[in-house]
Amino acid sequence: MKAIVLAAGYATRLYPLTLNTPKPLLEVKGKPIIEHIINKIKAISQVDKIYVVTNQKFFDQFKSWLSGSNHSVPIEIVNDLTTSNEDRLGALGDMDFVIDQNNIDDDILLVAGDNLFEFDLSEMFDQFSSKDKSTVALYDVKDKELAKKYGIVEIDENGKMIDFVEKPEEPRSTLASTGIYFLPKHIIPKLKEFLITGLSDKIGSFLEWLHLREDVYGYATEKAWYDIGSLEQLEEAKENFNP
């Protein structure tokens, strides 16, 4: 299994804090956000390499961070060659870029580099392994207004996704996708099929499309999750996140 950490965004909503520092390298509880994410990934012994995909603007900063780090799993920094929010590839484009550049033909653990979570990935991995189906981590935000900001999921009694809507105007659920996904290698051709449509560069939109074509499962957790999308959310994570 390969892990891909998405870290190629420009985090314009956090300016000026992220004007010259990538969001995943902001510190929470004494470590860069990305260190917390990688520590979680290392709970999955099947992950034999981690790719951190970033952009031209922040590539050197991530290389510098990696040179000062010591990890038991090989980590490679991938430059998607974009230079601004206007020419960015988006989450799906970056995942596809890493897959193509490294000829990946393996299961994938995909993690957005701007979120912090307290649950252990090993239980989610066990669920994924038992089904060999795409699995997305879910967190109940418990607020319909807040739910409008996320990809919102409905699941049946077996955890199978029955609905996925990206930023719904009228949420039917408050179960939010957290930006953590286990993806079996057989979905790689489907990813490319979806990208050809040009419908969206968002992972949530891909899952919205995918679950109509094959089973996709949700893994719901009650452990805290922090989506670092604003200064307020960053401060909340600094205050309350428990690594």
Question: Do residues 67 and 161 both lie within one domain?
Answer: no
Question: Do residues 36 and 144 both lie within one domain?
Answer: no
Question: Do residues 76 and 163 both lie within one domain?
Answer: no
Question: Do residues 196 and 234 both lie within one domain?
Answer: no
Question: Do residues 107 and 15 both lie within one domain?
Answer: yes
Instruction: Specify the range with the lowest mean pLDDT, choosing from 90-94, 180-184, 227-231.
Output: 227-231
pLDDT for res 68: 84
Residue 204: CA count within 13 A, CB half-sphere: 19
pLDDT for res 62: 96
Question: Do residues 105 and 17 both lie within one domain?
Answer: yes
Domain hosting 110: range is 1-118+225-243
Q: What is the pLDDT of residues 124-147, one digit of tens each?
A: 999 999 988 999 999 999 888 888
pLDDT for res 59: 96
Domain count, the chain: 2
Question: Do residues 234 and 197 both lie within one domain?
Answer: no
Residue 41 resides in a domain: yes
Question: Do residues 102 and 159 both lie within one domain?
Answer: no
What φ, ψ does residue 152 adopt, rounded to 5°?
Answer: -110, 135
pLDDT for res 25: 95
pLDDT for res 14: 77
Residue 28 resides in a domain: yes
Question: Do residues 105 and 12 both lie within one domain?
Answer: yes
Give residue for tokens 């653990």.
109
* Confidence category of residue 113, pLDDT binned at 50, 70, 90: very high
Q: What is the pLDDT of residues 141-164, one digit of tens each?
A: 988 888 888 889 999 999 999 988
Give residue for tokens 């951190």.
52
Residue 125 resides in a domain: no
| 74 has pLDDT over 90 | yes
Question: Do residues 110 and 38 both lie within one domain?
Answer: yes
What φ, ψ does residue 171 adopt, rounded to 5°?
Answer: -60, 135
Question: Do residues 77 and 37 both lie within one domain?
Answer: yes
Residue 70 sits in a domain whose CATH number is 3.90.550.10
Residue 128 resides in a domain: no
pTM surpassing 0.75? yes
| 202 has pLDDT over 80 | yes
Q: Tell me what the mean pLDDT of segment 70-97 comes to.
A: 90
Question: Do residues 168 and 195 both lie within one domain?
Answer: yes
